[in-house]
Copies of this chain bind each other. A is one copy, B any other.
Amino acid sequence: MDLKNKGEFGFIDLIKEHFKAPEGMLGIGDDCAVMPCGEGELIYSTDMLMEGVHFLRDAASPEDIGWKSLAVNLSDIAAMGGVPQATFLSIALPKDAQGEWAERFIEGYAGLSHMFNVPLLGGDTTSSLRDVAINVGVLGRVPSGGGLRRSRAVAGQGIYVTGNLGDSAGGLKAILNGWENTPEVLSLIRAHHRPLPRISEGRKLAGSGMVGAMMDISDGIASDLRHILKASGVGAEVYLDKIPVSECLKTVCSRHGLQAEVLAVSGGEDYELLFTAPQGIEDRLDFPVYQIGKITSQPGLRWLMDAQEVDMDITGYRHF
């Protein structure tokens, strides 16, 4: 039985209320979910989130955790230029999370599902001794051969991102350090808890035929860009002064003595798209993208600030 109720707490009925299988699909209630094959290629991504490692029940609302556990997977679909078709949720709940916590978790998960019109078609609900464990799988679709890979960056292409970087990392710092909830801090915390996967932008970029490599930013570009460079066998230079950073992040960083660029580069969990394309692509798209660097044939990753190379590490950057 898909989405089994090994524990008995009426949770599946609640999930069924939120999700009805679309015409031509079979959802909760049999051994497997059933979907049409359709055209093109299938893509699949899955992420596991553990209490105490990826989230704390007393530091984020259940709705936020539900939202984000789906968002990080939809973002992987976006990173290939795909359309999400169905999601699958496995969740193990200790006794003290089996009532209101679980219901509110589903509210958040369903909110994002409905925003992108993607049905939950199955999963597994069970009990846990101590920690909440969550696994989300998303099945999507791309045109045959149309999925954007990490391995297709070419020297001379520009490096682009689809939005501000660093807000999520700033929000996490605010939570961990208990910073005063100014409007700017609350905006960063929201960016951390409620990332918006760039599904529409990913599809348009894949459809443009202009993109080389693409991925989503989960660990920060200092780490993520290296995956593209390695997979493509190229190098890059990144212009720290060109990285888009929100006014909120600048305000909060200046108040707390931090460099916004460092959070933008190393923080992660922004879930913006990072891609390479011919320079000038920004004039041929109907949504904003920001050039932050250039792919080079020379291997390695170089950081520049105001056209001067700088030494970058997780604590900051300095001129050589």
Q: Which residues of A contact B (CB under 8 A)?
A: 1-2, 4, 26, 29-48, 50-54, 76-77, 79-80, 82, 86, 88, 90-92, 121-124, 126-131, 133, 135, 137, 139-142, 144, 147, 149-151, 215-216, 218, 227, 231
Which residue of the partner chain B has the closest CB to A32? B43
**Complex Cα distance A79/B26, Å?**
15
**Complex Cα distance A31/B215, Å?**
7
Q: A30-B149, A32-B80, A41-B34 are in contact. Are A126 and B2 (CB under 8 A)?
A: no
Q: Give the number of copies in the complex.
A: 2
* Contact between chains at B53 and A126 (CB < 8 Å): yes
**Complex Cα distance A216/B216, Å?**
39
* Contact between chains at B124 and A46 (CB < 8 Å): yes
Q: A31-B79, A38-B37, A80-B32 are in contact. Are A92 and B48 (CB under 8 A)?
A: yes
Q: Which of B32, B79, B128, B135 contacts A147 (CB 8 A)?
A: B32
A45 cross-chain contacts in B, Cβ below 8 A: 2, 31-33, 122
A33 cross-chain contacts in B, Cβ below 8 A: 43-45
* Contact between chains at B39 and A37 (CB < 8 Å): yes
Interface CB pairs A-B, < 8 A, 7: A2-B46, A32-B76, A33-B44, A46-B137, A50-B126, A131-B131, A137-B137
Q: A52-B129, A90-B48, A124-B48 are in contact. Are A42 and B34 (CB under 8 A)?
A: yes
In the assembled complex, how far is the CB of residue A127 from the closest CB belonging to chain B, in whole angstroms?
6
Excluding A54-B126, A135-B135, 7 further A-B contacts by CB distance (< 8 Å) are A30-B149, A30-B151, A32-B45, A36-B42, A50-B133, A53-B92, A128-B133
* Contact between chains at B90 and A135 (CB < 8 Å): yes
**Complex Cα distance A80/B32, Å?**
7
A140 cross-chain contacts in B, Cβ below 8 A: 32
* Contact between chains at B1 and A227 (CB < 8 Å): yes
* Contact between chains at B135 and A48 (CB < 8 Å): yes
**Complex Cα distance A287/B135, Å?**
37
* Contact between chains at A127 and B35 (CB < 8 Å): no
A36 cross-chain contacts in B, Cβ below 8 A: 41-42, 144
* Contact between chains at A77 and B44 (CB < 8 Å): no
**Complex Cα distance A48/B137, Å?**
12
In the assembled complex, how far is the CB of residue A53 from the closest CB belonging to chain B, in whole angstroms?
6
In the assembled complex, how far is the CB of residue A271 from the closest CB belonging to chain B, in whole angstroms?
11
A124 cross-chain contacts in B, Cβ below 8 A: 46-48, 135
**Complex Cα distance A69/B75, Å?**
27
* Contact between chains at A133 and B52 (CB < 8 Å): no
**Complex Cα distance A95/B90, Å?**
23
A216 cross-chain contacts in B, Cβ below 8 A: 31
* Contact between chains at A123 and B38 (CB < 8 Å): no
Q: A37-B42, A42-B35 are in contact. Are A90 and B53 (CB under 8 A)?
A: no
Which residue of the partner chain B has the closest CB to A44? B33
**Complex Cα distance A121/B82, Å?**
18
